[in-house]
Structure 1
Amino acid sequence: MYFAALLARTEDGWEASDTELDDVETLSDLADLAREAAADGADDTVLVLVEQEDAWFGVVRVDGEEDPRVFVSNAAVAARSSYGAMLTDELLGHDEEDELDTLDLDGTEDGYEEGTAEAAQSAGADGAADVLDAPDADDPPSDGAVPAGPLGESAILADLGVSERRLLALDGDALVTIADALGAAEVLEAVR
């Protein structure tokens, strides 16, 4: 079972409203829904908080007309649900066209970097070569696989009082903890 709420920041604090996500099919739809909830105009910060029981939670932050920012607590679990899949697909850059052939015109797979073949060849039979730099932890895997664990912008709420470290450590009643840190626990509880 899902729970979704919108938290809109106003001059007087946070206003909460529960929301149905039945008509939301894309992140763009979700961002439009959040912008409609902005009380004082298009420049307000609106948070969309989504959770599926205690399995995963997601935060979508919309600041005015800027692109939405997204964090998902457990991408592999979220990807198995409709709303979680919408968020993880967006973070991983999946779309319908990705279902087509992933070969570039030069016959290599997308994400194949020049120099990789040369590095592999120079490794020799024993495989002793310098290890290529691993991708940043906040970057999605280049092969499009859904990673186990958090995905997205883990510092999404840092300027609102929820540090990256704290957000990454949340589980269970994560939305309550987030709302409490924002000073919005009572308004969130009213719509729960």
Structure 2
Amino acid sequence: MYFAALLARTEDGWEASDTELDDVETLSDLADLAREASPDDDTVLVLIEQEDSWFGVVRFDGEEDPRIFVSDAAAAARSSYGEILLTDELLGRDPDSDDTDLDALDLDGTEDGENENDETGEDDEDDASVGPAGGGSAEAVPHGPVGDPRILDDLGVGEKELKSLSEDAVTEIAEALGASEVLETVR
């Protein structure tokens, strides 16, 4: 289950709005959505969370390039919403390279990393071909956090704290920002 929200910082504090990501296909689409939420070029945070799997924070400060943090790139890569955040630049790869395309990953809806054959108890023979020996793209998307871990430093959530968040990260971030009440209105 996913939850996504926009938190826009205003003179009066944080304002939250529920974010529907069904029509968002690229980071540019997400930037447009965020910038519409704050016409005064204030800070806007997009918080995305897949329950018990991964979370992402995208920060927009006016017209500056967005800053992104994803708690687990490999888990996010199996999600259509996560794919929006996992840009070539964020993953440190060449956008012209064919062997690191996210389309090569298994995006069959097994978003929690489970194997399609887990129910039958069979081993997935294709797993042997992924990775360094098989030349697959598994290494293109690392397990663990990627992006800017200091994305919220000036807002009271340090790198160590951000990296330690897990199950209810969006709520914990909102609490640290003093925005938990406004977030709950859209949850």
Instruction: Check whether TM > 0.5.
Output: yes
Structure 1 runs, 4 residues or longer, greater than 4 Å off: 93-96
Higher helix share: 2
- Alignment length (residue pairs): 150
2 CA distance for matches of 1:150 and 1:47?
18
Determine if the alignment matches structure 1 residue 175 to structure 2 residue 170.
yes
Partner of 1:190: 185
Amino acid at match of 1:66: E
The structure with more radius of gyration: 1
Matches for 1:85-124 after TM superposition, within 5 Å: 85-90=83-88, 91-92=90-91, 97-99=96-98
Partner of 1:52: 50
Partner of 1:5: 5
Q: CA RMSD in A?
A: 2.1
2 CA distance for matches of 1:6 and 1:98?
33
Partner of 1:17: 17
With over 3 angstroms needed to count, the CA separation of the structure-2 counterparts of 1:100 and 1:53, relative to structure 1, is closer
TM-score norm. by structure 1 comes to 0.73
3-state SS in 2 of match to 1:189? helix
> Does the 8 Å contact 1:89/1:95 carry over to 2?
no
Partner of 1:107: none
2 CA distance for matches of 1:94 and 1:2?
27
Give CA deviations for 1:117-141 in whole Å, capped at 9, x if unaligned: xxxxxxxxxxxxxxxxxxxxxxxxx
> Does the 8 Å contact 1:31/1:62 carry over to 2?
yes
Matches for 1:25-36 after TM superposition, within 5 Å: 25-36=25-36
Partner of 2:161: 166
Partner of 2:119: none
> Does the 8 Å contact 2:47/2:58 carry over to 1?
yes
CA shift, 1:87, in A, is 1.1
TM-score norm. by structure 2 comes to 0.75
1 CA distance for matches of 2:98 and 2:81?
19
Amino acid at match of 2:19: T
3-state SS in 2 of match to 1:77? helix
Matches for 1:61-80 after TM superposition, within 5 Å: 61-80=59-78
3-state SS in 2 of match to 1:179? helix
